[in-house]
Amino acid sequence: METQIIDRQTVEHLEKLLGDNFQVLVSTFEEDAIIKVSSARRYCDSQHWTELSKTIHSLKGACLNIGANQMVSLCLKIEAILRDENFTALDAIVDQLETHLIDLKVALHEIKVI
């Protein structure tokens, strides 16, 4: 089964936990994710690997908690590349991260509407 962009079960738990603050959480996550993906692109282009690693680690943590599992998978791939220092595929994966951010924003918007 294909991994969902956002895990429904996690979202339900968070809605229940946060109540009215759930919408604040979604907005905060979206703003944060946009900044972090943008930073990742910049660090990738400038080959600042340490900074890229920290940014991806932070993004992965936020995505884990909100259930953004496909974004988590991309973060894990980037972390593996940085660990192995085999950078050939890195640029393409960061591209995927940027593309996926658009899908994620749509999914988050649907959640907000719900």
Burial class of 64 by CB neighbour count within 10 A (0 to 12, 13 to 18, 19+): middle
> Cβ 29 to another protein, closest distance in Å?
5
Please report whether residue 60 would count as binding another protein according to CB under 8 A: yes
Angle of helix 90-113 relative to helix 69-84, nearest 10 degrees, comes to: 160
Residue 98 is encoded by which pair of tokens?
């940027």
Q: Give the up-direction half-sphere exposure of residue 79: CA atoms within 13 A in the CB hemisphere.
A: 14
Cα gap 12→10, rounded to integer Å: 5
- Shortest CB 93 distance to another protein, Å: 18
**Candidates 41-49, 63-71, 92-100, 103-111; binding stretch for another protein (CB under 8 A):** 63-71
Cβ proximity to another protein, 67 vs 74, nearer residue: 67
CB of 103 to another protein, least distance (A): 18
| Positions that interact with another protein (CB under 8 A) | 10, 13-14, 17-18, 21, 24-25, 28-29, 32, 54, 57-58, 60-62, 64-67
